[in-house]
């Protein structure tokens, strides 16, 4: 158990120093971190083995043990990620607004770090490195709370990161480790020090955190993703997309949980789909019409709002495009939803009316991912609508400040009519 307040104060100090660093020095630190991880990999593997043995002893489920493993291939992935982040464009110091308020009084809006970010993440220890690399590149200090199952691995990873950063001239407190639930509870009280909390994990965790802090939370909750097969769809393409979205990886948030089919093509499409899903051992539940066509089990109302994360799919037949959109907006989780159609008007209506962070035409829902989107890495997928939405890369870890450069202008001189507001857009970036 730590003195979390003291850690938060150290994070603020570190964040002030980080915000003043050049992109070159942030990138140098990222590359030195990768080198240090490789140089000290045996130490990492040894500590990871301790966590794996403990997991074995306490009979943790196999998938969890798999996520816990940090081996050569994970190390390679992590170092590739660090290189990608180092190679990526600086998210800081970008002028996003440039305007003459009146001659000699210029306003600029420039991106800058948020400050101190608290991230609560799952049992994958490689996530620690990924998150720390994104917060470092974006000039933020981070408080990290990983899964307790990965305690030994997280400790050694974090200390290697801190040593490498320090030798690169970065404050070693750029990343600090929290370990217990009690630490998290204390972190949630630090609204004077911490600017943002990012919980990765269960819906329940996100709700708990939102209920217990005044700090803004960018949460990742359920992924109840839909594929809607329009009456103007190419049915072979539709089948590929519906199957891939469901089974390519059933345990991820961007996997399809509900299939919606337009009534005009239901009797042709559903029998083929049912065969394909049965071959893949996917359990099907449906609304009355779907049941009458493919004789699957009836779905209960809860099915439409359940994230199975498993070989199970709910199927509904809808009379119209509007009905499909209403179903998605009512039961969905605003994550990722797809329409399969060749009708441009239907695609356009679907894209504008479906209230989700990712809306797709003719491709698998599985593409909802920061790497796929080209963000290099992701801190998470935000299912809210504020600040950052959907896969969240470095841009989501920045904010901005307004810089106003004058020559002695006062409000009274404006009131006296000494000058008027011109509000002319300027074409130059902020000189400061």
Binding to a second copy (CB under 8 A) within 165-194 occurs at 191
Residue 114 binding a second copy, by CB under 8 A: yes
DSSP state of 303: G
For a second copy, which is the closer residue by CB, 279 or 385? 385
For a second copy, which is the closer residue by CB, 48 or 111? 111
* Helix residue ranges per DSSP H, 95-147: 126-137
Query: Which residue of 205, 329, 343, 419 would you call a contact of a second copy, by CB under 8 A?
Result: 329
To a second copy, the closest distance from the beta carbon of 237 in angstroms equals 4
To a second copy, the closest distance from the beta carbon of 66 in angstroms equals 18
What is the spatial distance between Cα 399 and Cα 92, in angstroms, rounded to a whole number?
Answer: 9
For a second copy, which is the closer residue by CB, 267 or 353? 353
- Yes or no: say if 226 and 328 are a contact pair by the CB < 8 Å rule: yes
For a second copy, which is the closer residue by CB, 98 or 267? 98
As given in the structure block, the two tokens for residue 46 are 């040894």
Residue 5 binding a second copy, by CB under 8 A: no
Query: Which residue of 411, 417, 427, 428 would you call a contact of a second copy, by CB under 8 A?
Result: 411
For a second copy, which is the closer residue by CB, 36 or 112? 112
Q: Is 103 helix (H, G, I), strand (E, B) or coil?
A: coil
What is the spatial distance between Cα 390 and Cα 396, in angstroms, rounded to a whole number?
Answer: 10
DSSP state of 415: H
CA distances from 376 to 169, 177, 295 (A): 24, 24, 45
Query: Which residue of 39, 185, 279, 401 would you call a contact of a second copy, by CB under 8 A?
Result: 401
What is the spatial distance between Cα 269 and Cα 238, in angstroms, rounded to a whole number?
Answer: 9
Residue numbers 360-399 binding a second copy by CB under 8 A: 360-364, 366-368, 372-374, 384-387, 389-391, 399
Query: Which residue of 166, 234, 264, 307 would you call a contact of a second copy, by CB under 8 A?
Result: 234
What is the spatial distance between Cα 347 and Cα 341, in angstroms, rounded to a whole number?
Answer: 7
To a second copy, the closest distance from the beta carbon of 187 in angstroms equals 16
Residue 195 binding a second copy, by CB under 8 A: yes
SS3 sequence, 136-203? HHCCCEEEEECCHHHHHHHHHHHHHHHHHHHHCCCCHHHEEEECCHHHHHHHHCCCCCCCEEEECCCH
Q: Is 385 helix (H, G, I), strand (E, B) or coil?
A: coil
Query: Which residue of 415, 420, 427, 428 would you call a contact of a second copy, by CB under 8 A?
Result: 415
Q: Which positions from 249 to 278 touch a second copy by CB under 8 A, shown as an x/- string?
A: x-----------------------------
Element (H, E) at 425: strand 424-425
Measured between alpha carbons, how far apart are the two ends of the chain, in Å?
43
**CA 242 to mean position of chain CA atoms:** 24
Query: 304-321 burial, b for 16+ CB within 10 Å, e for fewer?
Result: bebbbeeebbbbbbbeeb
Residue 202 binding a second copy, by CB under 8 A: no
For a second copy, which is the closer residue by CB, 49 or 248? 248
Residue 407 binding a second copy, by CB under 8 A: yes
Q: Which positions from 281 to 320 touch a second copy by CB under 8 A, shown as an x/- string?
A: ----------------------------------------
For a second copy, which is the closer residue by CB, 102 or 180? 102
CA angle 117, 91, 378 (to 5 degrees): 55
With CB under 8 A, what is the number of residues at the site for a second copy? 76
Residue 410 binding a second copy, by CB under 8 A: yes
To a second copy, the closest distance from the beta carbon of 373 in angstroms equals 6
Query: Which residue of 63, 288, 300, 421 would you call a contact of a second copy, by CB under 8 A?
Result: 421
As given in the structure block, the two tokens for residue 138 are 């974006």
Query: Which residue of 141, 356, 392, 394 would you call a contact of a second copy, by CB under 8 A?
Result: 356
Residue numbers 17-36 binding a second copy by CB under 8 A: 19-20
DSSP state of 417: T
To a second copy, the closest distance from the beta carbon of 121 in angstroms equals 19
Residue 98 binding a second copy, by CB under 8 A: no
Dihedral pair phi/psi, residue 348, rounded to 5°: -65, -45
For a second copy, which is the closer residue by CB, 60 or 276? 276
DSSP state of 251: T
């Amino acid at each position: 158990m730590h003195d979390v307040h003291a850690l938060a104060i150290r994070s603020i100090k570190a964040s002030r120093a980080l915000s003043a660093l050049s992109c070159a020095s942030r990138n140098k630190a990222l590359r030195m971190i990768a080198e240090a991880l490789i140089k000290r990999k045996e130490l990492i593997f040894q500590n990871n083995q301790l966590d794996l043995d403990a997991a074995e002893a306490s009979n943790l489920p196999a998938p969890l043990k798999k996520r816990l493993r940090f081996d050569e291939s994970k190390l390679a992935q992590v170092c590739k990620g660090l290189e990608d982040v180092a190679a990526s464009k600086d998210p800081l110091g970008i002028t996003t607004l440039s305007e003459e308020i009146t001659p000699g009084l210029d306003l600029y809006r420039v991106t800058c770090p948020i400050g101190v970010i608290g991230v609560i993440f799952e049992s994958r220890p490689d996530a620690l490195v990924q998150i720390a690399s994104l917060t470092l590149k974006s000039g933020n200090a981070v408080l990290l709370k990983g899964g307790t199952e990965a305690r030994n691995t997280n400790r050694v990873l974090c200390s290697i990161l801190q040593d490498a950063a320090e030798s690169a001239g970065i404050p070693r407190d750029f990343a600090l480790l929290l370990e217990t639930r009690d630490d998290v509870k204390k972190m949630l009280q630090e609204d004077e020090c911490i600017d943002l909390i990012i919980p990765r994990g269960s819906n329940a965790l996100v709700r708990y955190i939102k209920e217990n802090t005044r700090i803004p939370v960018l949460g990742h909750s359920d992924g109840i993703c839909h594929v809607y097969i329009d009456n103007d769809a190419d049915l072979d393409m539709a089948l590929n997309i519906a199957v891939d979205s469901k089974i390519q990886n059933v345990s991820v948030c961007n996997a399809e949980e509900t299939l919606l089919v337009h009534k005009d093509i239901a009797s042709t499409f559903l029998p083929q789909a049912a065969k394909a899903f049965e071959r893949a051992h996917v359990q099907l539940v449906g609304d009355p019409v779907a049941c009458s066509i493919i004789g699957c089990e009836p779905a209960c109302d809860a099915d439409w709002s359940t994230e199975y994360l498993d070989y199970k799919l709910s199927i509904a037949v809808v009379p119209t495009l509007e009905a499909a959109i209403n179903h998605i907006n009512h039961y969905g989780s605003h994550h990722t939803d797809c329409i399969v159609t060749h009708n441009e008007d239907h695609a356009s209506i679907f894209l504008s009316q479906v209230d989700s962070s990712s809306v797709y035409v003719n491709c698998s829902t599985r593409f909802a991912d920061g790497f796929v989107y080209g963000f290099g890495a992701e801190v998470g997928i935000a299912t809210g609508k504020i600040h950052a939405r959907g896969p969240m890369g470095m841009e989501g870890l920045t904010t901005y400040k307004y810089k106003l450069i004058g020559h002695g202008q006062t409000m009274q001189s404006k009131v006296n009519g000494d000058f008027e507001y011109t509000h002319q857009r300027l074409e130059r970036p902020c000189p400061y």
